[in-house]
A and B are shown apart, each in its own frame.
Chain A
Amino acid sequence: MSPNKAEPRPTPQTQPFWDGCAQGELRLQYCPSCAAYYFPPRAMCPRCWSTEVEWRRVSGRGVLHTYLINHRPAPGFEEDAPYAIAVVQLEEGPRMMSNIVGIENTPENLVLDMPLEVTFEPRGSVMLPLFRPAKGARQ
């Protein structure tokens, strides 16, 4: 693992997300009154402003919503270039940025709406959620 890649630094409001990652779980906040998940983390539901929200483990499944392929590598990414910077549509509703691993990052391989599943890799003091083609999915 390159020591130079950018490392997230959790805050008290985001710590439960990173605690989940450390245990191999993707966790999102859920608002019972809206019956909806949201991301990124914050103390109140952005729809109804309820602070009665909870952290829940989610499936880790999603689809490739959109991406680009970066030909100008960031520090620590030199060996990976060109690499996709992607937005994953999670099964539970929210979207998050990520990288796609386990498949060469080419326009031919990366087809929008292809199924993905979360995986984690160490990055500094946290485990970073990444996505790979879902097992059993057509490639």
Chain B
Amino acid sequence: MSPTNGRAAVAIVGAAETTRLGVIPDVAEIELHADAVRNALSDCGLSVRDIDGIACTANPVALAHYLGITPTYLDGTSVGGCSFMLHVRHAAAALRSGLCQAVLVTHGQSGRSRVGVGGRGGDPSSLQGQFEAPYGPTGPPTLFPIGVLRYMKEFGLTHEQLASVAVVQRQWAARNPRAMMRDPITVDDVLSSRMIAYPIHLLECCLVTDGGGALVLTSAPRARDLPQPPVYILGTGESSETPMVSQMEDFTSSRAFRVSGAKAFAEAGITPADVDHLMIYDAFAHLPIYGLEDLGFVGRGEAGAFIEAGNTAPGGRLPLNTNGGGLSYTHTGMYGMFAIQESVRQLRGTAPAQVDGVEVSVAHGVGGMFAAAGTLVLSNREP
């Protein structure tokens, strides 16, 4: 795909409706999507293997998992009945810029029969409502870390190494006046804090806070005339795996992390060795461990020892979560914005715990419980 200033042609090549229309009381809403998708793919002669982008007003993670797609472009824009026009517009821009090669825009709605109507958390007819909720989870702390014991068995990660994630991030937070939790803690403090969901203790869970953030983006030529040093976007990635943490392909690794990270690094033309500063969304202490491995900073099973040895701590060779992270800085519920803000501060040289010589920063976020991922490669050098 050549740079044509957004003029490259994009076409709708397949189009179809559900096999039946009207009253369909025997088909769940998600299956209405799937039926229309099968028909549209049949219409254009493409296979589901050709699809790497998905857009719908429902949760695109759930639909991609249902269809067996590993997306690198997700659009869940939901602004009412015109959403699909917006999906098409966004998809055209995504295809022109190479985020993906083929996008499905889908619709399925059991508006009359209300069969398997999802969208709200805890719907008892959703797949989560049928196959996870009955077993007694109470929010992310009691589901998200479900793979940690498997990781421990596979790779020998110790409880002390897991606790060291929280200890190291508190060291960064101690340097940050805006961090909510700044008092130094030890591994023993972490392991003697209240058990939330074995093997996860209170101090291995993120904070719950209020707050927000915003970003303004513009073109590189225009950015040069503005007062702040520009932070350039070198590469981006996104992906998803499954809305049900129990259906992860591998409980010791996130497929969405791997796909999103590889896409962003390839687009930026860099490797992990080129990264000076790193943010990995830490809803729980195991997230930086999975992130370091899935983005390729260390080998499989090495991240716990890597963190415990101080490599990500102040003075270490890979400064990680330098604001203190979700564990010690802040966590409003959707922390990703704060990870990006800290990357920008580090690249501008204005962070409270400033790292010397940061030219490339990576901000990596998780969506849901390993359901989705997004990765940004940022730099203060113009590409």
Which of A10, A43, A87, A96 lies in contact with B251, CB distance below 8 A?
A87
Residues of B137-184 at the interface with A, using a CB-CB cut-off of 8 Å, are: 137-139, 141-143, 145-150, 153
Number of interface residues of A (CB under 8 A): 47
Which of A40, A69, A82, A86 lies in contact with B131, CB distance below 8 A?
A40
Given contacts A40-B244, A71-B196, A74-B137, 10 further A-B contacts (CB under 8 A): A7-B124, A11-B125, A69-B198, A71-B198, A72-B139, A77-B136, A82-B198, A85-B146, A112-B150, A113-B153
Give 21 CB contacts A-B under 8 Å: A8-B134, A13-B28, A14-B130, A40-B130, A40-B131, A42-B31, A46-B67, A49-B68, A51-B38, A68-B142, A68-B146, A68-B149, A70-B137, A72-B142, A72-B196, A74-B137, A85-B137, A87-B251, A112-B153, A123-B134, A128-B134
Question: When the two chains form their complex, are residues A97 and B135 in contact, meaning their CB atoms are under 8 A apart?
Answer: yes
A-B contact count (CB 8 A): 146
CA A70 to CA B136, docked complex, whole Å = 8
Question: When the two chains form their complex, are residues B195 and A71 in contact, meaning their CB atoms are under 8 A apart?
Answer: yes
Asked if A32 is at the interface (CB within 8 A of a chain B CB), the reply is no
Question: When the two chains form their complex, are residues B134 and A6 in contact, meaning their CB atoms are under 8 A apart?
Answer: yes
Question: When the two chains form their complex, are residues B130 and A9 in contact, meaning their CB atoms are under 8 A apart?
Answer: yes
Residues of A74-132 at the interface with B, using a CB-CB cut-off of 8 Å, are: 74, 76-77, 80, 82-83, 85-87, 95-99, 107, 112-113, 123, 128
- What's the nearest-Cβ distance from chain B to residue A37, in Å? 13
Contact with A along B333-358 (1 / 0, CB 8 A): 00000000000000000000000000
Question: When the two chains form their complex, are residues A85 and B27 in contact, meaning their CB atoms are under 8 A apart?
Answer: no
Known: A6-B124, A68-B200. A43 touches B68 (CB 8 A): no
Main secondary structure on chain A at its contact with chain B? loop
Asked if B368 is at the interface (CB within 8 A of a chain A CB), the reply is no
Would you list the 8 A-B pairs with minimal beta carbon distance, nearest first? A46-B68, A66-B150, A11-B28, A69-B198, A97-B246, A8-B130, A11-B116, A9-B124
Asked if B225 is at the interface (CB within 8 A of a chain A CB), the reply is no
CA A10 to CA B130, docked complex, whole Å = 7
Residues of A within 8 A of B (CB): 5-14, 39-40, 42-44, 46-47, 49, 51, 65-74, 76-77, 80, 82-83, 85-87, 95-99, 107, 112-113, 123, 128
- Which residue of B has the minimal Cβ distance to A128? B134
Contact with A along B186-203 (1 / 0, CB 8 A): 000000001111111000
Residues of B within 8 A of A43 (CB): 31, 34-35
Question: When the two chains form their complex, are residues B131 and A97 in contact, meaning their CB atoms are under 8 A apart?
Answer: yes
Asked if B100 is at the interface (CB within 8 A of a chain A CB), the reply is no
CA A12 to CA B28, docked complex, whole Å = 7
CA A9 to CA B122, docked complex, whole Å = 11
Residues of A within 8 A of B139 (CB): 72
Residues of A within 8 A of B47 (CB): 49
Asked if B129 is at the interface (CB within 8 A of a chain A CB), the reply is yes
Residues of A within 8 A of B134 (CB): 5-8, 123, 128
Residues of A within 8 A of B195 (CB): 69, 71, 82
Question: When the two chains form their complex, are residues B198 and A85 in contact, meaning their CB atoms are under 8 A apart?
Answer: no
Residues of A within 8 A of B93 (CB): none
Question: When the two chains form their complex, are residues B129 and A6 in contact, meaning their CB atoms are under 8 A apart?
Answer: yes
Residues of B86-106 at the interface with A, using a CB-CB cut-off of 8 Å, are: none
Which of A6, A11, A13, A96 lies in contact with B246, CB distance below 8 A?
A96
Known: A12-B115, A65-B251, A72-B141. A98 touches B135 (CB 8 A): yes
CA A106 to CA B130, docked complex, whole Å = 26
- Which residue of B has the minimal Cβ distance to A81? B136
Question: When the two chains form their complex, are residues B127 and A40 in contact, meaning their CB atoms are under 8 A apart?
Answer: yes
Residues of A within 8 A of B150 (CB): 65-66, 112
Question: When the two chains form their complex, are residues B132 and A97 in contact, meaning their CB atoms are under 8 A apart?
Answer: yes
Known: A67-B146, A69-B197. A8 touches B124 (CB 8 A): yes
CA A118 to CA B116, docked complex, whole Å = 26
- What's the nearest-Cβ distance from chain A to residue B185, in Å? 20
